């Protein structure tokens, strides 16, 4: 993917730059920013623009899923946090459509999703809003990788009206993912777990490039069910499995794919359930597989030991509950201690890695679950396409 980057901007002096950031941060009970990691990722881009003479940086982002302009989803607290992080004034503006912008160096627009046109299904409506946003600035910078799979006004419409460039974070994240998928160091071992059956498409695409694919999570029980195994009361995301039947069969048939040979099963979805480890073909009716068993852990750790590139998407088991967290811990630690290039993607996977304290030991913990998965599926992300050379 050949993105226009900040290095391609000839002259930033005196330019007003509209930056679409990913400040969709978790908030605490008082509405304060609970985790500013996503915000800190955008600081180098903001500083770069200011250091190179931009006259104004206009930040736009969405917060949560507002239905009715809920006050707790206003951008104010985020603006305060950013001001603290940058050590500069950040002016939050509400009615920029009517009043335009104040003359501050850094301004922040209200939650873009307060305007229904941001997410409208009607491209003309999105573009009209995008044009209005574009009129505030001379240049557009996309710095919200995790939202790049979405065709929203602030992501894809604004750069139709003013020249668009990828921010430093987007550039880095896309480069790392592209290298891992299209030109990886082999062996490439992918670990795919979690809950959602849409990851089957990613596995399918990886069959072409990966040397081994280790399947875990509820996704594994899904595939075993396709194979005709008894999976008891295990969770298996059936949504869309019918149209994915051919893909599932192809995955099962590939000798690159490993499925668990044993599971931790429980008679209830709770920490106090009765628990035992059984072979994959012996899940009892009424019981559910909630983690991989010890033999599978060993097998997967050994497959990871020779890897030069590792992709990890989706937790290995229900890591949120102590009795089913061991698989995620063991596999996470194996990946963290490996010399391989390691890329972790997905919201829950990222929080598992954080919980285990392994964040700094991974090459990249992708901020975007849906977006990075879509790249691995080999699809074009609309908001990145808008920034292509
Ligand atoms: P990500 O957000 O990393 O893309 P998913 O959303 O697909 O991952 O799946 C994460 C969830 O999958 C976690 O909440 C975890 O508890 C759940 N999970 C993992 N293994 C199992 C399992 N065997 N049965 C039920 N849920 C599982
Ligand atoms: Mg998730």
> What ligand 1 atom has the least distance to the C-alpha of 373?
4
Rounded CA separation 142/375 (Å): 17
How far, in Å, is the centroid of ligand 1 from the Cα of 69? 31
How far, in Å, is the centroid of ligand 1 from the Cα of 100? 45
pLDDT digits (tens, 9 = 90+) for 293-305: 999 999 999 999 9
How far, in Å, is the centroid of ligand 1 from the Cα of 35? 22
Handedness of CA 71, 72, 73, 74 (dihedral sign): positive
> What ligand 1 atom has the least distance to the C-alpha of 221?
23
pLDDT of residue 347: 82
Rounded CA separation 287/272 (Å): 14
Query: What's the pTM value of the predicted model, to 2 decimals?
Result: 0.82
pLDDT of residue 240: 66
Rounded CA separation 261/278 (Å): 9
Residues of the chain with pLDDT under 70: 240, 367
Tokens, residue 265: 């099963």
pLDDT of residue 366: 84
Ligand 1 pocket: which of 192, 193, 233, 330 to mutate (most atoms within 8 A of CB): 193
Strands (DSSP E) along 82-221, which ranges? 91-93, 106-109, 139-143, 164-166, 188-192, 212-215
Closest CA to 310 of 181, 216, 196: 181
pLDDT of residue 202: 87
Contacts of 309 (CB under 8 A, 6+ apart): 180, 184, 185, 186, 187, 188, 189, 340, 341, 342, 343
Tokens, residue 40: 């800190």
Rounded CA separation 152/376 (Å): 21
166, 5 Cβ separation under 8 angstroms: yes
Residue list, ligand 1 pocket, CB within 6 Å: 193-196, 217-218, 235, 289-290, 314-315, 317-318, 320, 346-349, 369
pLDDT of residue 271: 97
pLDDT of residue 172: 92
Catalytic residues: 38, 196, 347, 370
């Amino acid at each position: 993917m050949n993105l226009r980057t900040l290095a391609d901007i000839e002259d930033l002096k005196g330019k007003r730059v509209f930056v679409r950031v990913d400040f969709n941060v978790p908030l605490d009970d008082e509405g304060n920013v609970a985790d500013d990691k996503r915000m800190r990722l955008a600081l180098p881009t903001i500083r770069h623009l200011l250091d190179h003479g931009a006259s104004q940086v206009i930040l736009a982002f969405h917060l949560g899923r507002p239905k009715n302009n809920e006050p707790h989803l206003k951008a104010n607290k985020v603006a305060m946090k950013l001001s603290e992080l940058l050590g500069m004034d950040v002016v939050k503006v509400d009615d920029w459509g009517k009043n335009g912008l104040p003359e501050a160096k850094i301004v922040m627009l209200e939650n873009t999703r307060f305007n229904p046109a941001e997410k409208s299904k009607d491209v003309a409506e999105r573009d009209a809003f995008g044009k209005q946003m574009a009129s505030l600035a001379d240049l557009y910078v996309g710095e919200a990788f995790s939202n790049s799979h979405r065709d929203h006004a602030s992501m894809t419409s604004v750069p139709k009206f003013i020249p668009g460039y990828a921010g430093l974070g987007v550039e880095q994240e896309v480069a790392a993912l592209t290298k891992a998928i299209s030109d990886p160091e082999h062996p490439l071992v992918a670990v795919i777990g979690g809950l959602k059956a849409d990851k089957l498409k990613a596995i399918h695409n990886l069959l072409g490039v990966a040397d081994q694919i280790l399947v875990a999570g509820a996704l594994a029980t899904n595939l075993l069910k396709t194979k005709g195994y008894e999976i008891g009361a295990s969770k298996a995301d059936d949504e869309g499995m019918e149209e994915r039947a051919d893909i599932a069969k192809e995955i099962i048939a590939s000798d690159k794919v490993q499925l668990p040979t044993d599971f931790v099963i429980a008679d209830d979805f709770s920490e106090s359930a009765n628990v035992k480890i059984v072979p994959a073909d012996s899940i009892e009716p009424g019981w559910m597989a909630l983690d991989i068993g010890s033999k599978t852990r060993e097998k997967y750790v050994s497959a990871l030991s020779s890897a030069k590139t590792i992709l990890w998407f989706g937790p290995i088991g229900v890591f949120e509950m102590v009795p089913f967290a061991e698989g995620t811990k063991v596999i996470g630690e194996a990946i963290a201690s490996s010399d391989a290039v390691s890329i972790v993607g997905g919201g829950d996977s990222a929080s598992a890695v954080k919980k285990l304290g392994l964040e700094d030991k991974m090459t990249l913990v992708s901020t975007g679950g849906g977006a990075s998965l879509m790249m691995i599926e080999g699809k074009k992300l609309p908001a990145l396409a808008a920034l292509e050379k």
